[in-house]
Amino acid sequence: MENRIKKSNYLQLQCCLALLACTLLPDFGDMLSSAVGSALGAPSILTSDFDFIVFICQIAAIVGAGIALKAFYDADKQLQTPMAVMNGGGLAIAIVSMIPSVPDWLQYIALVLLLGALFTNKKNLGVQLSSQAGIAAYMILISMILTTYNDIDDTMMTSVAALVGFIMYLMGLGKLGASVDKEGQLGVSKLKIAVILGVCGVIISIIPLIGGIIGGIFGIVAFIFGYIGYGNLMKCATIGAMGNAGASKVRMSMIVSVIAAIVDFFPMTGIIVSLLALLALWLIYSGWTMIYKGIECGDEIVVNA
């Protein structure tokens, strides 16, 4: 398989596995509700918690990962046994775990296998990222999936995953800032400020009475810095024309997220907010994929995103 195509398929596989892993994280609140409902004799259909948006994420992740795995298999006519077990087994068990009334422990087995695949696929596939900027873009893309998914399905474990995502995001920005031109460095510095302000805003918002107002102000300032930062990346020569277009898509996702936050103030708009968060996730994925490919593979690749 040609190196640039291998990198593209690797990125798709890893992003889909990360998204699917997020959907399989345990929801301890739901587990408690189900246990109480069962103890009270409530029908299982009343204690189930099917989420259509999460289901869409699962289907998209499984299909995307399956397509990438098939591409690797078609290229070599085989998959290494550890890779086949962790990727194929994880996907297969994840599919089975989506069936109603299937025991929860099945999805935890799938989660373990998928996490194992995420950490070992690079070695098993022999993928070598050619630059620090490419590694940074990869880290940022995975981190953005972790943080944005928390807006779709907000549980304790997805919040923990989002926290890990914020740390990865800052680490990725540090690597990216050291590998791009002056315009890119300006953008990265503003994105770092935006992340720090955003996290501070979330923490401050926990404070009763005035916390929400001050946290909201932090959020607005963070949005401004982030929006300007991606504007700088749109002019960065290091990431190429493809990466510039990708930065524009990520900036568009920020606008979608703001719209979702405004809609969330109105009652009975949960499904709309989730759909907007899903759209923002897609824009982030396609945008940072273009930035990654602009760095790693060059502008000659046509991106269908």
Q: By three-state DSSP, how is residue 296 classified? A: helix
288 pLDDT more than 50: yes
176 pLDDT more than 80: yes
Taking a C-beta distance cutoff of 8 angstroms, is the pair 223, 278 a contact? no
Domain shared by 151 and 296, yes or no: yes
Taking a C-beta distance cutoff of 8 angstroms, is the pair 290, 305 a contact? yes
Which has the closest alpha carbon to 233: 224, 221, 252, 246? 246
Q: What is the pLDDT of residues 207-258, one digit of tens each?
A: 877 777 888 888 899 999 999 999 999 999 989 899 999 999 999 999 999 9
Q: What is the pLDDT of residues 183-213, one digit of tens each?
A: 999 999 999 999 999 888 878 877 877 777 8
32 pLDDT more than 70: no
Domain shared by 91 and 209, yes or no: no
Quick one: 210 exposed, middle or buried, by C-beta within 10 A (0-12, 13-18, 19+)?
A: exposed
Q: What is the pLDDT of residue 42?
A: 47
Residues 6+ apart with CB under 8 A from 23: 54, 57, 58, 61, 149, 153
Q: How much is the average pLDDT of 113-123? A: 92
Q: How much is the average pLDDT of 64-78? A: 87
Q: What is the pLDDT of residue 242?
A: 92
Domain shared by 218 and 249, yes or no: yes
Q: What is the pLDDT of residue 151?
A: 81
Q: What is the pLDDT of residue 211?
A: 77
Last residue of a domain, one of 95, 128, 161: 128
Q: What is the pLDDT of residue 305?
A: 42
Average pLDDT over the chain, rounded to whole? Answer: 85
Residue whose tokens read 């930065």: 247
Domain shared by 163 and 301, yes or no: yes
Helices 211-233 and 240-263: crossing angle in degrees, nearest 10, is 160
Domain shared by 209 and 279, yes or no: yes
Domain shared by 82 and 161, yes or no: no
Look at the chain and report how many structural domains it folds into.
2
Taking a C-beta distance cutoff of 8 angstroms, is the pair 281, 149 a contact? yes
Q: What is the pLDDT of residue 137?
A: 87
Provide the pLDDT confidence category of residue 40 given band limits of 50, 70 and 90: low
Which has the closest alpha carbon to 187: 129, 226, 132, 240? 226
Domain housing 106: 1-128
Residue 81 CA to residue 70 CA, distance in Å, equals 15
Last residue of a domain, one of 128, 146, 165: 128
Q: What is the pLDDT of residues 145-164, one digit of tens each?
A: 998 888 888 888 988 898 89
pTM for this structure? 0.84
Query: Residue type for 130, please?
Result: S
